[in-house]
Amino acid sequence: MGYLNSIFILGGINVLAVVGVAVLTGYTGLFTIGHAAFMAIGGYTAAVLVVKLNQPFWLGLVAAGFAAALSSLIVGYPTLRSKLKGDYFAIAMLGFGEAVRLLLNNTYKVINGAIGFTGIPLYTTSLLVLALDIVGIWLIRNFVISQYGKNCVAIREQEVAAELMGIDVMKTKLWALAISAFYAGVAGGLFGFYMTYLVPSMFTSSKSSDLLAAVVFGGINSLTGPVLAAFLLVALPELLRFLYVWRLVIYGLLFVIIMIFRPQGLLGYRDISWASLKRFAGRLGGGGRRSGPGLKSPPPARVAASGGGR
Amino acid sequence: MDKIATGGIAKDETATDEIILQTRDLSVQFGGLKAVNRVNLTVTRGDLLGLIGPNGAGKTTIFNLITGSLVPTEGEIIFRGHQIGGKRPDVIARMGISRTFQNIRLFPQMSVLENVAIGLHAAPKYTVLEALFRLPRAVRSDREVNRKAMEHLERVGLAEYHDAKAGSLPYGLQRKLEIARAMATSPQLLLLDEPAAGMNNEECQSFIAFLRQLHRETGLSIVLIEHHMNVVMDLCPRIYVLNLGEVLAEGDPREIQRNPAVIRAYLGERRRTARAGDRA
Amino acid sequence: MVLFLQQLVTGLSIGGIYALLAVGYALIFSIFDFTNWAFGSLMMVGAYGGFFAISAFHFPFWWGIVFALILAGAVSIFVEFVAYRPLRHRGAPRLFLMVTAMGVDIFLTNLAVVLIGGSFRPFPGVSAQQVVHLGPVNVGRLDLIAAVISVSALLALWYFIEKTKPGLAIRAASHDTATAGLMGINVSSVAFIVFSISGVISAVAGTFFGIKYAVWPYLGGISNKAFISSVIGGLGSLPGAVLGGVVLGVLETMVSGYISSTYRDLFAFTLLVLTLLFLPYGLMGKKVQDKI
């Protein structure tokens, strides 16, 4: 039972971080391979606040999020200017990840550097993770269906036109980045208070690859897909132990295969909503024909959110 | 948008003579090449202005300069009294200039409705906090935006496709959608870059009617780049001819068609009034 | 003063390798407009290729190096054919290309981890310790050779690109790939040449770092320096890549010598951020305009 519980907690934590990356990469189209750094920043911030400065846990988590979000400006501000290509941001994120790990590894005061920050109490429970997941997904879903979210998608689809229609591209991208960093930060906080210790080597580029993988497999422009994938990518390697060692090799291969054969991933551009569940149930019952793009359905405003045009 | 009745579209019959856009000695240089050289254009409120010229004449480049995608190396662009040369494209767009593109730039995976809606909420009408918590103001605003977007779609006859992915529409309808999206930004000046490209004669005729009605109903100031001569000559009471980055001539359709320099540079050997425009 | 000269010389030799690496990256970027993340793992492929050729198959040292170059070049071309070209022909957005490139990098790196093991191995057949005395300055023999090799390689590349016909094709393609294709340039051949050059370069750098430090699966992480150099010098510009690489190498080594060697990589990142803040297009940046 404890084993399943641990899968649930780790999976749930992963979901939180992945959902942030989904907004940044899946919706806004900004490739990131360094989000583990935000988890690290969040994790250490929470640990220091709670363990060394005796602050309450909830404050630690909130601070974790904000610390990560603020630090994202260091990378975001120089590289997300509208005329700069996404490669600048990606390269800077890579460098940022390295820099953060280096700093953490070599700071022995307070956080004990490469040896690790131990003695963190076990405050993360499955109930807490579930609650935060539900709230977190709800908030992000709101962002995605809002005018901000739609602007993010427009930027991903056609940045030039998006800007020429009046979207402040840099500001929108910075918001997506800050939110994704906030989520990663909180996830990092939860992680530290589950593992009861933190060590910089927990947050290597492999971790960042794990996050990206969940979004690539789960699907672009979707929340449901990455959420499911985030959970599966924690559960499967645990259950299929022999796969664990090979998992990154498989991910790498799958990245290429998916981009070539099914770039939209598992559930790209699709989300599960009440309306779509009802439609699905209706099809199972009535055996109706698959709906095509021209089908008249109620205008998006009245339907519980779908992730994109359907 | 005001419905200014501009029944006849000739210059002296517009409601006001206010100059809405003016370029003075506008130039842009790439390395050794002066793509646009000391161009002086004037657009009056309510104009339906044509911009023609052979390929490479600099027409789209001028659009790019006006909309902020390019920074002029010389000269000024003045829009409603403000210098806009070198301003950021999204700032210029929010000031009231909108455009369509030579190569369609819709948001292909977004629905038709969502594409138009972007024009309405490029500058979001509520804060991120209100978005995150789905506060009533956000919900109301979204509903309002969707309603207005449907109106725009109805105006161009695309309402039945509102749910379809923009990329799945046939070519002609995509062009209409681009125009609807541009109009949704409530511009004062609309720049259309070869909106009739790829259309056959029949499509051109209905497009001419469409654009004429649009202009009449909204009183928008429009500048039109086109290669289809019949479209331009039919619609535009005033035309600029560009060649090699410079203004070659300006006038009404009859004057343009008779201008020997224009004929030499552009219309080729045919001295008849242009018909069934060929792409140069 | 001696310390300064010491660091300068070492810095120049590292800068030379960074410059070479940055050019290998910039070549592909300037033509195909995407970041070949797999570049790092190709360094590793070259290093391991040389390692096994010499230690397991008993190649003489320089033949082992040659083998490393050929192997990396071949893998580079293979990756281009299998992973990148299909996407490019489909007009896939750059996000997809980046994901694919990252996939290749993750695949190759972790394949090495699983099959070969994550431990450090010293590069066989050579000692990196030997020191050469140039007046008051002591330089590692390896660093000196590296400097010579990178300068020669860069000169050879410069000659190839500026003065030969295939080089002209490459220059044309880097200005405007689509138009170059329309003008009759065989973009496939250009791709072949450019990816093999890039692969060979990564092998040169890979074996250098394998010798200097050790051979291990994450050797390719140094490619970050190539990316950063290229951004500092101006993304997409070949001379910029060289300049950026040298500047980064020298400054980094200065920091390492005068302040602390631990924070080398932190300095690289800081330099990147500072450059982007004040010179968004890098030192020699090409402002790239989208055709609108």
List chains touching B (3+ CB pairs under 8 A).
A, C
Note whether B88 and B172 are same-domain residues.
Answer: no
Out of B137, B155, B186, a domain closes at B186
What is the interface pTM, i.e. ipTM, of the complex?
A: 0.91
Note whether B130 and B1 are same-domain residues.
Answer: no
CA distances to A47, A90, A227 from A232, in Å? 28, 26, 9
Nearest by Cα to A59 from A47, A73, A71, A41: A47
Q: What is the CATH number of the domain that holds A52?
A: 1.10.3470
Sheet holding B48-52, edge to edge: B97-99, B189-193, B221-225, B48-52, B238-243, B246-251
Note whether B92 and B117 are same-domain residues.
Answer: no
- The rounded mean pLDDT for chain B is 88
pLDDT score at A304: 38
The two three-digit tokens of residue A79, written as one number: 């590289």
Contact status of B37 with chain C (Cβ, < 8 Å): no
Cα gap C139→A53, rounded to integer Å: 49
Cα gap B189→B98, rounded to integer Å: 6
Note whether B182 and B192 are same-domain residues.
Answer: no
Shortest alpha-carbon distance between residue B257 and chain C (Å): 29
Report the amino acid identity of residue A242.
F
Q: Tell me: pLDDT of B272 over 70.
A: no
Instruction: Give the model confidence (pLDDT) of B95-130 as tens digits.
Output: 999 999 999 999 999 999 999 999 999 999 999 999
Partners of A29 on chain C (C-beta within 8 Å) are: 93, 95
Partners of C107 on chain A (C-beta within 8 Å) are: 248-249, 251-253, 255-256
Partners of C289 on chain B (C-beta within 8 Å) are: 69-70
Q: Could you list the residue range(s) of the whole structural domain that residue A156 is in? A: 2-261
- Counting one residue from chain A and one from chain B, the pairs whose CB atoms sit within 8 A come to 146
Instruction: Grade residue B55 by pLDDT with cuts at 50, 70 and 90.
Output: confident
Contact criterion met (CB < 8 Å) for B101 and C289: no
Q: How many domains does chain C have?
A: 1
Q: What is the CATH number of the domain that holds B120?
A: 3.40.50.300
- Do the Cβ atoms of B241 and B52 come closer than 8 Å? yes
Residue with tokens 């893998």: C75
Partners of B166 on chain A (C-beta within 8 Å) are: 309
Q: Tell me: pLDDT of A281 over 80.
A: no
Residue C143 domain flag: yes
Give the residue-averaged pLDDT of A219-230: 94
- Do the Cβ atoms of B198 and B171 come closer than 8 Å? yes
pLDDT score at B229: 86
**If you write DSSP's letter for every residue of chain B in order, what string do you get?**
-------S-SGGGSS---EEEEEEEEEEEETTEEEEEEEEEEEETT-EEEEE-STTSSHHHHHHHHHTSS--SEEEEEETTEE-TT--HHHHHHHTEEE--SS----TTSBHHHHHHHHHHSS-SS-HHHHHTT-HHHHHHHHHHHHHHHHHHHHHT-GGGTTSBGGGS-HHHHHHHHHHHHHHT--SEEEEESTTTT--HHHHHHHHHHHHHHHHHH--EEEEE-S-HHHHHHH-SEEEEEETTEEEEEE-HHHHHH-HHHIIIIITT--SPP-SPPP-
- Do the Cβ atoms of A298 and A310 come closer than 8 Å? no
Residue C121 gets which letter from DSSP?
A: B
Instruction: Give the model confidence (pLDDT) of B184-209 as tens digits.
Output: 999 999 999 999 988 888 888 988 99
Shortest alpha-carbon distance between residue B273 and chain C (Å): 31
Nearest by Cα to B64 from B82, B77, B48, B52: B77
Q: Could you list the residue range(s) of the whole structural domain that residue C201 is in? A: 26-223
Cα gap C112→C217, rounded to integer Å: 6
In this structure, chain A runs to a length of 310
Residue A196 domain flag: yes
pLDDT score at C257: 85
pLDDT score at A303: 34
Contact status of C226 with chain A (Cβ, < 8 Å): no
Q: Tell me: pLDDT of B280 over 60.
A: no
Cα gap C126→C139, rounded to integer Å: 16
Q: How many domains does chain A have?
A: 1
Nearest by Cα to A80 from C240, C234, C280, B70: C280
Q: What is the CA radius of gyration of chain B?
A: 19
Instruction: Give the model confidence (pLDDT) of B160-177 as tens digits.
Output: 999 999 999 998 899 999
Report the amino acid identity of residue B81.
G
Note whether B155 and B86 are same-domain residues.
Answer: no
Note whether B144 and B223 are same-domain residues.
Answer: no
Contact status of B133 with chain A (Cβ, < 8 Å): yes
Note whether B257 and B244 are same-domain residues.
Answer: yes
Search chain B and give the residue with CA nearest C288.
B70
Residue A215 domain flag: yes
Search chain C and give the residue with CA nearest B104.
C292
Residue C139 gets which letter from DSSP?
A: E
Instruction: Give the model confidence (pLDDT) of A49-58 as tens digits.
Output: 999 999 999 9
Nearest by Cα to B94 from B109, B79, B76, B108: B79
Contact status of B101 with chain C (Cβ, < 8 Å): yes
Residue A118 domain flag: yes
Low-confidence ranges of chain C (pLDDT < 70): 128, 286-292
pLDDT score at C166: 87
Q: Could you list the residue range(s) of the whole structural domain that residue B199 is in? A: 1-96+187-280
Q: Tell me: pLDDT of B140 over 90.
A: yes
Partners of A293 on chain B (C-beta within 8 Å) are: 163-165, 168
Contact status of B186 with chain C (Cβ, < 8 Å): no
- Do the Cβ atoms of A23 and A180 come closer than 8 Å? yes
Instruction: Give the model confidence (pLDDT) of A86-125 as tens digits.
Output: 899 999 999 999 999 999 999 988 888 889 999 999 999 9
pLDDT score at B267: 56
Out of B162, B186, B210, a domain closes at B186
The two three-digit tokens of residue B162, written as one number: 């509102």
The angle subtended at Cα B138 by Cα B134 and Cα B142, nearest 5°, is 115
Q: Tell me: pLDDT of B3 over 50.
A: no
Residue C1 domain flag: no
Nearest by Cα to A15 from A96, A154, A126: A126
Sheet holding B19-30, edge to edge: B33-44, B19-30, B74-79, B82-83
Contact criterion met (CB < 8 Å) for A269 and B109: yes
Note whether B177 and B153 are same-domain residues.
Answer: yes
Cα gap A306→A291, rounded to integer Å: 15
Q: Which residues of A48-82 are buried (b: 16+ CB within 10 A; e: fewer)?
A: bbbbeeeeebeebbbbbbbbbbebbebbbebbbbb
Note whether B131 and B92 are same-domain residues.
Answer: no
Search chain C and give the residue with CA nearest A101.
C266
Give the residue-averaged pLDDT of B11-16: 45
Q: Which residues of A15-33 are buried (b: 16+ CB within 10 A; e: fewer)?
A: bbbbbbbbbbbbbbbbbbb
Q: CB-based contacts of C251: which residues, under 8 Å, 6+ apart?
A: C11, C267, C271
pLDDT score at B30: 85
Residue A271 domain flag: no
The angle subtended at Cα A154 by Cα C36 and Cα A135, nearest 5°, is 95
pLDDT score at B192: 96
Q: Tell me: pLDDT of A273 over 80.
A: no
Q: How many domains does chain B have?
A: 2
Cα gap A247→A236, rounded to integer Å: 10
Region of poorest pLDDT, from A58-62, B33-37, B40-44: B33-37
Search chain B and give the residue with CA nearest A160.
B105
pLDDT score at A19: 97
